[in-house]
Structure 1
Amino acid sequence: MAKIVLGIGCAHTPQLHTMAEDWDLRGDRDRKDGVPLWFHGRKLPYAELAAQRAGENIGDRLALETRRAALEASFAAMDRLHDMFRAVDPDVVVMIGNDQHEFFSEIVPSFAVIATDELPNLPRTAEQNARLPIGIELSDHGHLPDERVAFPGDRAFGQHIARHLVRESGFDVTLCHEKPTVVNEKSLMYGLPHAYGFLYKNVLRDLVKPNVPVDVNCWYYDNSPSAARCYAFGGAVARAIEAWDSDARVAVLTTGGLTHFVVDPEWDRKFLNALASDDEATLSAIPQNELMAGTSECKSWIATSAAMRHAGLKMTEIDYQTLYRTEGGTGSSCAFVAWQ
């Protein structure tokens, strides 16, 4: 049977590939655009958020040197993750990530397995760039190529995972045999979701292995699975991997989170502690109103944690950084961990 030999969790926020000087582009939007921001399970207007957090003196952490230091530490952590991946040198990779209308456009599966021989990635068109929120195009180099590339998939392994999930574990997953390419005039679709593209460019780098993306619907709440369901799914994925009739050594990677678009270090610390201690009860009990906006991507981490527990691997925290861009604490938090 196949064996899980490594797990990696890595943030994939666009802020990591935006120069510190340019964070204010998004920060100004946070302050002005009137979109409510999720914090402590509630949606707050920016003014109320900033007033509630005034005692934290977050403004003291907005200096350019502080921002640059956080970026440098984050990239050093990703270097370590790449070195760990290279040292283990797995045969195949399973990536547990999330789609933001990049794989499926108007289709939103709760869980999906991409079983294909080739995973193409390509840059956005000029027309797509023109429709992006401010500041996003600046970060595309962190997960998109300059021209079309194709990464190796593993159709047989993906089909096996999907079959096992349905027949043995009771998960009705969507099985996709190719990257959908139909794009309407409003779409921002291009190549691969940034949850996966970020891993290719920042963790695998020049050591891309045949891989199977496994998608968890984090962002679209009508049919987004609960934290408990995500935990059960991760364990089922691990059982499917181990049931594969192969002696392959498998790495399981995930990206996303932690708290954003409002950084909450206290929440992050509880979450990381639960991952480190294999605390199924705590991870499964996180309510939906704490897993909103970008923080919803922690559902992929919850699934990965369950897979690592099944495999008997333990988590090591490589680094944790907060990327603040306003006095109200908007921005992204970044965690970098490995299970070995």
Structure 2
Amino acid sequence: MSLFQDAIRTGGAALEMRVRRFASFVRTSDPELAQAVAALVMNDPTRAFGGDAAVRTSPVDSDTKLPLVRIEPASTPRGEPVLTEATRAEVERVVRERHASDRLIAAGLMPVRSVLMSGPPGVGKTMTAGWLAKQLGLPLFTLDLASVMSSYLGKTGANVRAVLNHAQEHPCVLLLDEFDSIAKRRDDDSDVGELKRLVTVILQTIDDWSPLSLLVAATNHGELLDPAVWRRFDVTLNFSLPDPAQRAQLLRAHGVADEVANAISAVIEGQTFSAISRALDSARKQTILEGVPFEEALVAWALAFSATSGKPSSAIERQRRDLRALVYHGRNLSTREIADQIGTSHTTVIRSLKRFHGGDDAGT
């Protein structure tokens, strides 16, 4: 064992990778030895954990000299993602295991090393990767597909391998966004042989991944991934479009009153977290530049979306009416004045407000 320890300290990253591969090779025949060797790599005190070293040695494309990864320091401010209870529990488990890596390895167990996130665009996959990096106190490395993908035979594979090796030499969270671009099904006849070979390399790398870093892959098209990919990841997270409670939670987190947040959430079914965030920013800009009250600007966006949502007209019309009544009620108008503004009856306005205020008629 001391031979392995000396090799890690003096042999550099290339030899360290060979030690990792040895641990992977004997994992089945001698799991105790494999765990002990992995622990040496994980706990070696002579490694450079600083972000500066990672930036200085960041891999670049040999032709364009463009960096192959984008590096964000651990101190980067990040918002907390809005997740379902099940997804949040899985994310918190990843964080707990990573923080307890030493204890798990000492007990012959490996902490989570890889996470695969799948779901439509704009539902929080990238934000969750950043949040994981923040919670773990690690920089976030993001594979830059624009730089990695090359028209030259063999270059794309070489670039991806360079990024994977770099991420294992410098503790980080490595995000492989748009993972389906480099890990497509190998039975896809439209892809060239290089990308099919790259999938095999990626699968081997996931198996041998260093516990020093966390590998996170994200895809909008899980059905395009090679089936073997799904089995290689320690944790898989399936993201879906936000439900009404999640939409309201995001709105409340940005200063929208509870009643208005719930009302807006009801009429924007199908909107993603990223779309709602853009709407919040746009509403704030309208408040600053045009003097439009923040919540009114947000309501206008929600009403415009609901008009094109394709939902049954009766349900949409009631939600729209309720939302408009709530906004005018916030201006301290009476129910009769609100009825005049939105073109409905006084009793209809009272019913709308009852759904929010439990019978408050705002001064009939």
Structure 2 length as normaliser, TM-score?
Answer: 0.23
* Structure having greater relative contact order (Cα 8 Å, sep ≥ 6): 1
Question: Greater helix percent: which structure?
Answer: 2
Question: Greater strand percent: which structure?
Answer: 1
